[in-house]
Amino acid sequence: MSDKRNIAIALPSVGEREYEALRIPIESGWLTQGPQVAAFEKEFSEYQEADHALAVTSATTGLHLALVAMGVGPGDEVIVPSFTWIATANVVEYCGAKPVFADVDLSTFNIDVNHAASLVTERTKAVIPVHLFGMPADMDGLRAALPKHVLILEDAACGAGCVYKGRKVGAIGDAGVFSFHPRKTITTGEGGMVTTNNTELFTRADMLRNHGASISEEQRHHGAQPYILPDFNLLGFNYRMTDFQGAVGRTQLERLEEFIQDRAKWAAWYAAELSEIEWLSLPYEPDGGRHSWQAFVTYVDPEKAPLPRNEIMKRLMERGISTRPGTHAVHLQEYYVGKYSIAPDALPRARDCQNQTMAIPLHNRMNEDDFNYIVAELKSI
């Protein structure tokens, strides 16, 4: 390879500001969930226009926490899109409930509202739409298509800053969950956030996050009787974020709009430059909303492409450009095949998305030369 490059599919944008933020918990001595986490929760809830926010160890634990707080358990069914990260379905299994897989829309990669509605039974407790790659799901359409008693939990793992019809995602449904994994737009290393406008659900989730305790560790240590142990009223979990992560998260949140605007500029540039490639379908900005551009995921048309998708990805890798399939079709994963025996063709669009999507690099540590090089290599295929 003459041009020795290594353009990563994603890289977190962290540096001196995050390094300095870590001094706060180190110097205060409060390393577990404490004042930095509380401040991060307040600032994130205000940014996402939600009444409440709860910081957790990951989006996976956040989804699990939210489902338990919603009362999901054995005998219940939860509808999830098949084309998503596997955690969206796994958390339903953690509750002893059954994930029911819906197909997706090929233009957005999000849940097919009509198919999801057709799957509702008397056992359906909730639906988990995913704002995949930062594209908002059709929340109004989904709510209108579902019975009123069916809860909506937004998987907004990719959705920090994502806007649906003028509303920030995460509190449009009954609750939402965000991820701060390093592949997301902002990061705390690992970590996540649960958001909701439902005070009762928030209170229950807050207790469940901290082993089911009646008060938090911060409340106990700052209370009049810190030597008294709390009561444990629920069977809970230890899903608490550390103040290290809270401090970094606050700094990252300050930069989120800058990150999204930079990504949106280059996403629009990609769209213009790659529009002439007829075998490549491109993501787009939604009407009345905003894509948060966690990833730039394309679709390779197998009927028009000069090479199979995997060969295209291999060729780009040889030229120093990292790519990835968009994500999994969960109903094709071995655990779910073995347990539920769903035929691959039962959800053909999710299957095709697994086989034909291709994410190309888009992150805040790329430069103009990187983008030009990627476009040139794609056009050369």
Q: Which of 4, 184, 304, 314 is catalytic?
A: 184
Q: How many whole angstroms separate alpha carbon 285 and alpha carbon 303? A: 26
CB atoms within 10 A of CB 224: 5
| C-alpha 323 chain-centroid distance | 19
Expressed in percent and rounded to 5, the helix, strand and coil fractions of the chain are 40, 15, 45
- The terminus-to-terminus CA distance of the chain in angstroms comes to 16
- β-pair type (151-155, 124-127): parallel
Token pair in block for residue 328? 């999994």
| C-alpha 42 chain-centroid distance | 20
Determine the residue type at 86.
Answer: I
Half-sphere exposure of 251 (CA within 13 A, CB side): 21
- Going by C-alpha positions, the residue among 133, 131, 121 that lies closest to residue 153 is 131
CB contact at 8 A, 267 and 291: yes
- β-pair type (175-179, 151-155): parallel
Q: How many whole angstroms separate alpha carbon 284 and alpha carbon 275? A: 11
Calculate helix-pair angle for 243-254, 35-47, nearest 10 degrees. Answer: 30
| 98 is a catalytic site residue | no
The burial class, CB within 10 Å (0-12 / 13-18 / 19+), for 212 is middle
List alpha helices for the chain, DSSP H.
Answer: 16-21, 23-28, 35-47, 59-69, 87-94, 113-118, 139-145, 199-209, 217-221, 243-254, 256-274, 309-318, 334-340, 348-356, 368-380
Q: Which residues pair with 56 in a beta bridge?
A: 192, 240
CB atoms within 10 A of CB 103: 24
What phi, psi does 322 have (nearest 5°)? -80, 135
Catalytic sites, residue numbers: 184
